[in-house]
Amino acid sequence: MEDEESDEKDKVTFTVCAVLPAAGSGTRMRMETPKQFCEILDRPLISYTIEAFERVRWMKEIVVPVAEDTLEHMQQILKNFNHTKVRLTLGGNTRHKSIFSGVKELANHKKPPDIVIIHDAVRPFVSEDILRKVALAANNHGAAGVTRPLVSTVIACNEEGFLDHSLERSTYRNSEMPQAFKFDVIFGAYQKCTEYDFEHGTECLHLALTYSNTRAKLVEGTDSLWKVTHKRDLFAAEATLKELRRLKALVISDQQGPVEEQLISKLRKQNVDVQFSSSSDLSNIPKAALCSVDVVCKIIRHTCLSRVSGTAEEERPSLILDLSPSIEALEVFDNSAHQRKSILTLVISHEQNGLDDLKKHMVELNSRARSKGITCFGIYVDTAKCNKEDHWPIEDCKNLAEMTSEIALNTSSLLSGQVFEYLYN
């Protein structure tokens, strides 16, 4: 009961939009290309940040203020990477002017959002959990912002360049992004801003306190919220993205035979992080760990399909029971994760109706998966057409493993729900 109440408290039941200012020239980077448009792994940095927001189901719209001379380039980025929740507007020559431009764009809605989240276009590693926390805190308190502990002591110097005093580090915090506000709080604050604020200010929480009399609730941030500021940060961002993009696979089987060994070996050669689990152990895998998996490969052998006593067709055990790990994976998979998820079921059987069973239940599995943006595939191996699996040539095991890995890593939704049959050499 307490868990259910906690889940209810953590639900976003109000409208949320975001503003990602991207009109800056990136002078500290000392590069011709503004840092938000620098490409990492063949994709502009800002596209990764937008994706982090778009995959949040409750995020209604993302407004991106850009400079006039980069508007056409930004429009092309939205088209190339299929960003569908974004609205562009012209930004200003300072950070606050760009943010205000984005907030004013939201004010043009028939009904402005309840909460506005402000974030930097060059902080691509923000999680849904952090976005949810600041949104909920802002809804409860009017304003909220993420902070991190200071890692260096802050000092002040006098006019002659000598130490004047230092601040007690434990008393102060680094103000980070994202920050969130009730729409009226941030819109009203910007309407009252002075020209000095627009030209020299950097802290939105300060504006909310000064002009809307709203004291922000501070939320503890994570160390992944760092900002790409200098050229060296691009290399760090690339390394982080490579790690995030590394696929994770879970191979489930009641034994670890030649087929499993070859499949795991093949996946690892393709830079996939592979975990193995017996069917009976799946329930022991933490749900959070299962959520982080991109590909589930479930291997079912003919013993799972054997008939029970009796001759009536309805007495034959249903394959859907044997697909329960795939169903369980489907239920906890989160389609807002960075990678597309897929579930592959490999059936090795001598049952006369095994292929028909797999096709039948793949239809049901696919109908559930489609609504979550998850692809699912089946492979059928008819052992009645060959020797027992124990006597398979190693070449057949390798070929089946290669076929399985290629299909499992396929991301085309056009093939989802299909069943393939392995043909022996």
Report how far residue 175's alpha carbon sits from residue 263's, in angstroms, rounded to the nearest whole number.
47
Report how far residue 326's alpha carbon sits from residue 408's, in angstroms, rounded to the nearest whole number.
13
Task: Tell which CATH classification among 3.40.50.720, 3.40.50.410, 1.10.3720.10, 3.30.70.260 matches the domain 246-305+319-422.
Answer: 3.40.50.720
- Provide the pLDDT for residue 425: 60
- Provide the pLDDT for residue 253: 87
- The domains of the chain are located at 10-240, 246-305+319-422
- Provide the pLDDT for residue 164: 93
Q: Among 39, 20, 62, 76, which residue's Cα sits nearest to residue 237?
A: 39
Q: What separation, in Å, do the N-terminal and C-terminal C-alpha atoms of the chain show?
A: 57
Neighbours of 243 (CB within 10 A): 9
pLDDT string in tens for the chain (425-residue length): 444 454 567 789 999 999 999 998 755 555 678 899 999 988 899 999 998 999 898 999 999 999 999 999 999 999 988 899 999 999 999 999 999 999 999 999 889 999 999 999 999 999 999 999 999 999 999 999 999 998 889 999 999 999 999 998 888 999 999 999 999 999 999 999 999 999 998 899 999 999 999 999 999 998 888 899 888 999 999 888 877 777 888 888 888 888 999 999 888 887 788 888 876 555 666 665 666 788 888 888 864 443 333 333 444 444 433 455 555 555 555 544 445 678 888 988 877 778 888 888 888 888 877 777 788 899 998 877 665 555 677 888 888 998 998 888 876 677 888 999 987 66
- Provide the pLDDT for residue 138: 98
| Rg, the chain, Cα only | 27
- Provide the pLDDT for residue 353: 79
Report how far residue 389's alpha carbon sits from residue 255's, in angstroms, rounded to the nearest whole number.
13
- Provide the pLDDT for residue 390: 56
- Provide the pLDDT for residue 340: 64
The model scores a pTM over 0.75: no
185 CA to centre of own chain? 30
- Provide the pLDDT for residue 387: 55
- Provide the pLDDT for residue 201: 87
Order of strands, sheet of 115-118, starting from the edge strand that comes earlier in the sequence: 86-90, 59-66, 16-19, 115-118, 173-182, 143-149, 217-220
- Provide the pLDDT for residue 391: 62
Domain 10-240: CATH class, spelled out: alpha beta
- Provide the pLDDT for residue 422: 87
- Provide the pLDDT for residue 339: 53
- Provide the pLDDT for residue 326: 55
